[in-house]
């Protein structure tokens, strides 16, 4: 029972719990067993919280025993990317710098998921300080793609994507600064949502680039995704960039119907660098939506190619400032030195990995005297143009559609030699963060046995319409029911 139940969706698991077919403790134990069995290969987890998780599960089981009403996420085991603060539990950002950092407080999302009665299984791997597209930049481990252990899971939220794809957690939270939820969701064949900037509180999310970072869920199904977003989204007075918007019940948008919905296909997202097989797969997905009654036509987001340089200048500039606090004084790694200047320099030289240092260097340069106007200010102006592109497109369309990533998951080391090559592969995801709008990646098929993802982009705070399209697509396809095979064990696609 347990080994089957971990393959099920959150909503199915909820039914099992409510009907006492399975207890939260059994479910939690099953996930822990699964982690023990597959994580030595996959290395999604940096910290596993067996005892804490079982204690939480036991509490939920007491509620179930008393026939108390069970919330949609109560008793459901999940994982958090290791850049979200958990009080009393190490939060490392996959960096040597924070190897032993124990936050004195919870991120708002941690609090909200705790309040929702979820079971925290552990903290999952990522690129150091969320900087990367492959999770290869983790100080601790290389997380592998469950569909092919020779390939990366994507990044930076690689661990969070893998945990869900390989049934090591029922759902997980990642963060997305330039594609860090959507691209690994695409590479691992799961659903990943980057909500509108300001929809989910950033309090307790260890900042990479403050004006771009946003937390969102990884789930097996679109319904699950809406359920998790219901729990974590909404105004937080402790995050000044959180927006006091009218939060809907996102599951209300889960209707199997796209008739008359206007879907735009931005041609710039199909430029050079896109794998023709991926483009073909997305084309098939578009055809599915057309067959279901959506009105699809091509459109243009003319400033797309400028998004990469604008993004990397803005993100690294903010990062160079956000990461200045890691100096060996108040927390984190410290290198011993004669004087404080030496201590700062040595601590940061030894505590940060190469990609983090590279981005701090680029960002510091972009802000430095004499270059601010040419780089940072220019990038911010281009950001305005990119936003404007989207505003204009959304006058004509309800949703925009593209491949989530130009390729399927690549092999370890394939792109890490040249940082620019790695950066260029973010072309389909970074414009969304610059504009602050929501986007979701959903499973859209396979190329040579590796998953591809379809990205749907929406108007600010219109996650609902994205869920509607995603749900309709999911109900009329079976991509999401396929599971990777691990350790010779095949999880039946018909487990649901």
Site for other proteins in 119-158 (CB under 8 A): none
Rounded Cα distance, 152 and 191, in Å: 17
Site for other proteins in 284-303 (CB under 8 A): 303
Q: Which position among 27, 38, 84, 401 is part of the footprint of other proteins (CB under 8 A)?
A: 84
CA 476, 478, 480 angle in degrees (round to 5)?
A: 115
Rounded to 5 degrees, what are φ and ψ at 454? -105, 130
Q: Which position among 33, 55, 65, 238 is part of the footprint of other proteins (CB under 8 A)?
A: 238
Among candidate residues 5, 95, 156, 170, the one labeled active-site is: 156
Q: Which position among 51, 66, 246, 420 is part of the footprint of other proteins (CB under 8 A)?
A: 420
Task: Concatenate the DSSP letters of all residues of 370-395 into one string.
Answer: TTTIIIIIHHHHHHHHHHHHHHHHHH
Q: Is 247 in the site for other proteins (CB under 8 A)?
A: no
Min dist CB 332 to other proteins, Å, is: 7
Q: Which position among 44, 161, 313, 457 is part of the footprint of other proteins (CB under 8 A)?
A: 313
Rounded Cα distance, 72 and 264, in Å: 34
Q: Which position among 140, 187, 270, 306 is part of the footprint of other proteins (CB under 8 A)?
A: 306
Among candidate residues 8, 29, 81, 459, the one labeled active-site is: 81
Q: Is 239 in the site for other proteins (CB under 8 A)?
A: yes
Rounded Cα distance, 400 and 397, in Å: 7
Rounded Cα distance, 394 and 9, in Å: 32
Q: Of 41-49, 138-146, 384-392, 451-459, which segment contacts other proteins by CB under 8 A?
A: 384-392
Min dist CB 350 to other proteins, Å, is: 8
Q: Is 431 in the site for other proteins (CB under 8 A)?
A: no
Rounded Cα distance, 234 and 463, in Å: 13
Nearest to 212 by CA among 348, 322, 306, 135: 322
Helix ranges (DSSP H) in 189-269: 222-232
Q: Is 415 in the site for other proteins (CB under 8 A)?
A: no
Helix ranges (DSSP H) in 397-477: 419-424, 430-435, 463-475
Min dist CB 235 to other proteins, Å, is: 10
156 is catalytic: yes
Closer residue to other proteins, CB minimum distance, 371 or 412: 371
Q: Of 74-82, 144-152, 164-172, 343-351, which segment contacts other proteins by CB under 8 A?
A: 343-351
Please state the length of the chain: 496
Whether the CB-CB separation of 444 and 260 falls below 8 Å is answered with no
Q: Which position among 362, 427, 439, 470 is part of the footprint of other proteins (CB under 8 A)?
A: 362
What is the helix (H) or strand (E) element at residue 285, kind and residue range?
helix 276-291
Q: Is 367 in the site for other proteins (CB under 8 A)?
A: yes
What is the helix (H) or strand (E) element at residue 185, kind and residue range?
helix 182-188
Q: Of 49-57, 157-165, 240-248, 398-406, which segment contacts other proteins by CB under 8 A?
A: 240-248
The CA distances from residue 297 to 301, 323, 398, 435, 470, in Å, are 13, 43, 12, 22, 18
81 is catalytic: yes
Pattern 185-224, other proteins, x by CB under 8 A: -----------xxx---xxxxxx-xxxx------------
Closer residue to other proteins, CB minimum distance, 34 or 334: 334
180 is catalytic: yes
Q: What is the set of active-site residues?
A: 81, 156, 180
């Amino acid at each position: 029972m347990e080994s089957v139940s971990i393959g099920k969706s959150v909503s199915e698991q909820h039914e099992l719990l409510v009907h006492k077919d399975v207890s939260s403790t059994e479910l939690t134990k099953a996930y822990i067993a699964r982690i023990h069995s597959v994580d030595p290969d996959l290395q999604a987890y940096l910290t596993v919280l067996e005892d804490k998780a079982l204690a939480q599960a036991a509490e939920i089981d007491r509620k179930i025993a008393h026939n108390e009403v069970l919330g949609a996420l109560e008793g459901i085991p999940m994982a958090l990317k290791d850049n979200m603060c958990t009080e009393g539990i190490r939060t490392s950002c996959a960096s040597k710098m924070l190897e032993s950092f124990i936050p004195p407080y919870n991120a708002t999302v941690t609090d909200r998921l705790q309040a929702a009665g979820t079971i925290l299984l552990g903290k999952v791997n990522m690129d150091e300080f969320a900087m990367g597209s492959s999770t290869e930049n983790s100080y601790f481990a290389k997380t592998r793609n469950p569909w092919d252990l020779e390939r990366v899971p994507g990044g930076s939220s690689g661990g969070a994507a893998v945990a869900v794809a390989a049934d090591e957690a029922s759902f997980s939270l990642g963060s997305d600064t330039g594609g860090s939820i959507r691209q690994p969701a695409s590479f691992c064949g799961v659903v990943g949502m980057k909500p509108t900037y300001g929809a989910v509180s950033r309090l307790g999310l260890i900042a990479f680039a403050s004006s771009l970072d946003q937390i969102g869920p990884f789930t097996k199904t679109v319904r699950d995704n809406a359920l998790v977003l219901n729990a974590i989204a909404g105004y937080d007075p402790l995050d000044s960039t959180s927006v006091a918007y009218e939060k809907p019940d996102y599951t209300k948008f889960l209707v199997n119907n796209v008739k008359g919905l206007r879907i735009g296909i931005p041609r710039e997202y199909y430029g050079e660098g896109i794998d023709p097989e991926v483009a073909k797969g997305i084309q098939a997905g578009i055809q599915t939506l057309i067959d279901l009654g959506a009105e699809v036509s091509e459109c243009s987001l003319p400033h797309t190619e400028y998004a990469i340089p604008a993004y990397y200048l803005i993100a690294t500039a903010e990062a160079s400032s956000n990461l200045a606090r890691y100096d060996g004084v108040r927390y984190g790694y410290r290198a011993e030195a004669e004087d404080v200047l030496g201590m700062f320099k040595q601590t940061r030289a030894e505590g940060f990995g190469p990609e983090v240092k590279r981005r701090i260097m680029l960002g510091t340069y972009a802000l430095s005297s004499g270059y601010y106007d040419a780089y940072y200010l220019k990038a911010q102006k281009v950001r305005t143009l990119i936003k404007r592109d989207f505003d204009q497109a959304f006058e004509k369309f309800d949703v925009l559609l593209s491949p989530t990533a130009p390729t399927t998951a690549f092999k370890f080391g394939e792109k890490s030699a040249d940082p620019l090559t790695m950066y260029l592969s973010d072309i389909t995801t970074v414009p969304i963060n610059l504009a602050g709008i929501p986007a979701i990646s959903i499973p859209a098929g396979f190329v040579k046995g590796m998953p591809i993802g379809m990205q749907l982009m929406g108007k600010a705070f219109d996650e609902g319409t994205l869920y509607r399209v995603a749900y309709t697509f999911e109900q009329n396809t079976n991509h999401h029911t396929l599971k990777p095979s691990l350790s010779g064990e095949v999880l039946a696609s018909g487990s649901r």
